[in-house]
Amino acid sequence: MSHLIDKTDFPIFNDKSLVYLDSASTSQKPKVVLDTIKKVYEHSNANVHRALYDLGSRSTELYESSRKTVSQFINAPSSKEVIFTSGTTASMNLLSYSLESRLEKDDEILISHMEHHANIVPWQQLSKRIGIKLKYLPLTKSGDIDLENSRRYFTDRTKIVSITHMSNVLGTINPIKKIAKMAKSIGAVYIIDGAQSVSHMPVDVQDLECDFLAFSGHKMLGPTGVGVLWGKMDLLNELDPFLSGGEMIEKVTLETSTWNEVPYKFEAGTPNYVQAIGMGEAIKYLSNIGMENVYNYEKKLTSYALKKLQEIPNIKIYGTPEKRGGVISFNIKGIHPQDLSQFLNEDNICLRVGHHCAQPLLKTLNETSTARVSFYIYNDFSDIDKLVDSINSTISYF
């Protein structure tokens, strides 16, 4: 299979020379998603959950229907467990505040050395607020979480375990079901950062046995400004809200307030309903392809890219994880990644260079910067050939 989708579905590729290899940062959007957003603003725009007129009922219906689409996509037991946020970062911040009342000084939160800053910094801030300890699971040389040597990190003080499903730097797909067992055995709340996985492989929250899953719409063909926090209903019922204000309340008096039911308790103010509707449309597009097909197609692209990249002289590819998704980080001896990016840009090739918001991971790699390519459904084998040709011409120049 040389193509998974019709590339003309994506207006940005009207520029035929564009080689977009930065989908781990953000994905491109199909026309159906862009059209849906425009259509909502043109025909169904009214604030949700408050307007009693028909227009308001239409926007509320579309918003709630998108919640159902998300919920089915991750096989959530109930669509009420789907909270719309502005993205993975917002979902993690919500958790770091809402879980605070369950923690005491010297309790432990366990993450890993391969986390994105979004799954590090909110916990560090929580640690500053209440004095919890943040611990990091070590990595093996190949870029996997070293579970063999990790048992001792799971203690009776570990209250939260929060792990990325897939690394945005090494592409490592973590054995999160195994980690779920370890987290459950000590009674910890188990959070999965699905920013890089939900868009690229089938994800079933019931199968994964997690308590929370965070992900972003913009990385899965949807618009910016919308993401999801899924959580188990009993936990969501227990947790305090994070943001407060309109619509998240049941009753407000001059003295105090009570909370609306889940998920609205966590959606204070006017929600990002148009983006959420756009995200629902993106999920329908992905579901029509089938997430298993998405995963297998990207696996082929990644194997091909690894083979071609390995042929480049003086290249160092980081990590050879047991299971890898469509992300590859590398450096070429004698060429700074920033220079490489500038040269590739001349050929209209987009890739990210830098620390990829994962500075602790880069430190374990002994680097401050790498070049990174990341694939999605609209990439094909010719993109990889163009990348490799362009890298080789850059090497010749240097």
Residue 48, phi then psi, degrees to nearest 5: -85, 155
Is residue 89 near ligand 7TS by the rule CB under 6 A? Answer: yes
- Residue span binding ligand 7TS (CB under 6 A) among the ranges 6-14, 111-119, 232-240, 306-314: 111-119
Closer to ligand 7TS by Cβ: residue 300 or 355:
355
Task: Give the strand pairing for 352-354 and 370-374.
Answer: antiparallel
What is the C-alpha to C-alpha distance for residues 346 and 396, in angstroms, rounded to an integer? 15
| Shortest reach from residue 398's CB to ligand 7TS, in Å | 26
Contacting residues for 128 by C-beta, under 8 A, at least 6 apart: none
Closer to ligand 7TS by Cβ: residue 158 or 164:
164
Is residue 192 near ligand 7TS by the rule CB under 6 A? Answer: no
Contact between 144 and 197 (Cβ < 8 Å):
no
Binding residue (CB under 6 A) for ligand 7TS from 118, 180, 213, 279 = 118
Contact between 71 and 316 (Cβ < 8 Å):
no
What is the C-alpha to C-alpha distance for residues 267 and 201, in angstroms, rounded to an integer? 27
What is the C-alpha to C-alpha distance for residues 110 and 158, in angstroms, rounded to an integer? 7
What is the C-alpha to C-alpha distance for residues 75 and 82, in angstroms, rounded to an integer? 11
348: left (phi over 0), alpha (psi -120 to 50) or beta: left
Smallest Cα–Cα separation from 79: which of 286, 231, 238, 213?
231
Is residue 260 near ligand 7TS by the rule CB under 6 A? Answer: no
| Shortest reach from residue 118's CB to ligand 7TS, in Å | 4
Is residue 200 near ligand 7TS by the rule CB under 6 A? Answer: no
Binding residue (CB under 6 A) for ligand 7TS from 193, 281, 298, 380 = 193
What is the C-alpha to C-alpha distance for residues 298 and 306, in angstroms, rounded to an integer? 12
Is residue 216 near ligand 7TS by the rule CB under 6 A? Answer: yes
Is residue 198 near ligand 7TS by the rule CB under 6 A? Answer: no
Closer to ligand 7TS by Cβ: residue 166 or 395:
166
Binding residue (CB under 6 A) for ligand 7TS from 28, 88, 275, 379 = 88
Query: Which of the residues 357, 358, 362, 377 is marked catalytic?
Result: 357
Strand order from edge to edge, sheet including 227-231? 82-85, 227-231, 212-216, 189-193, 158-164, 108-112, 133-137
Is residue 196 near ligand 7TS by the rule CB under 6 A? Answer: yes
- The count of residues interacting with ligand 7TS (CB under 6 A) is 17
Per-residue interface string for the shown chain with ligand 7TS, residues 299-338, x marking contact by CB under 6 A: ----------------------------------------
Task: Report whether the peptide linkage leading into residue 263 is cis, meaning its omega lies within 30 degrees of zero.
Answer: yes
Is residue 24 near ligand 7TS by the rule CB under 6 A? Answer: yes
Contacting residues for 254 by C-beta, under 8 A, at least 6 apart: none
Per-residue interface string for the shown chain with ligand 7TS, residues 161-190, x marking contact by CB under 6 A: ---x---x----------------------
- Residue span binding ligand 7TS (CB under 6 A) among the ranges 101-109, 137-145, 191-199, 340-348: 191-199
357 given a catalytic annotation:
yes
Beta-carbon neighbour count of residue 124 at 10 Å? 15
Binding residue (CB under 6 A) for ligand 7TS from 5, 19, 36, 87 = 87
User: Annotated active-site positions, please?
Assistant: 357
Judged by the rule CB under 6 A, the positions of this chain that interact with ligand 7TS are: 24-25, 87-89, 116, 118-119, 164, 168, 193, 195-196, 216, 352, 356-357
